[in-house]
Amino acid sequence: MVTNTSPSPSQSDTIENLDECFVLSYYSRMRIILNLLSLLRLSPHARILSVLNAGKEDRMYEFDLGLSGPDAWSLMRTVNNTTTMHTLALDHLATQQENAGVVFMHAYPGWVKTGIFKHLEPGEEAGWVWTACLVVLRQVAKGALWWGGVTPEECAERQVYQLLDEQFEARKDGRKGCVLLGWQCEVLGGNGVLERYRREGWPARVWDFTEDVFQKVGSLGSGRR
């Protein structure tokens, strides 16, 4: 891993110059889905469930979807872009004729008591303000998890239920596309921002951008060999 020279203490890049958070939340998932689709199309009950941030879609930084520009990256933009692009990409795949037999689901797991915030530490270049903010964030997150969080076991049970129960094969609003699921396994409707992106053709645009990134990364890999 190569540390980015951005002043933000939370950003780091992979050797392909992709933001690590973006890779974990978006690119890696889409790559796995794309790699497995040809096999899933052969299954009579194929389902894809990606657990991230369904229902939290917000306005993207449309001018630089991958946030690769020198002034494009921020933590909130990373969350918004990976979340919204996630749903739009799955929407695109779900509406392709060759994927008609595959159910695409994007789920929000809620607050899960994983202890992840215990390991949240400031980087070496972080100032005292960022360090103090992290201390406060850890305490707030700890209280929120204690009050409203679910155990990892319960979270896993909910996702197995989503994968196996037939009710999630059809959307309540009748629209073709991916199924959005809340942490209580409820089917969610799209918000105003998401519906606008759908009307403006962003699912296909997001997928074109994603494929372009994959091609560039593949070319880098071929060059290293």
pLDDT tens digits for 73-92? 998 999 999 999 999 999 99
- For the beta sheet containing 187-188, the strands, ordered from the edge strand earlier in sequence to the opposite edge, are 46-51, 102-107, 179-181, 187-188
Q: Is 64 helix (H, G, I), strand (E, B) or coil?
A: coil
The band of 205, judged by pLDDT with boundaries at 50, 70 and 90, is very high
What pLDDT is attached to residue 80?
Answer: 97
**Mean pLDDT taken over the chain:** 84
Q: Check residue 7 and report its DSSP letter.
A: S
Least confident of 93-107, 108-122, 125-139, 182-196: 125-139
Query: Which pLDDT does position 111 carry in this prediction?
Result: 84
Average pLDDT over residues 189-210: 95
Q: Distance (Å, rounded) from C-alpha 147 to C-alpha 142?
A: 9
Least confident of 30-34, 84-88, 117-121, 192-196: 117-121
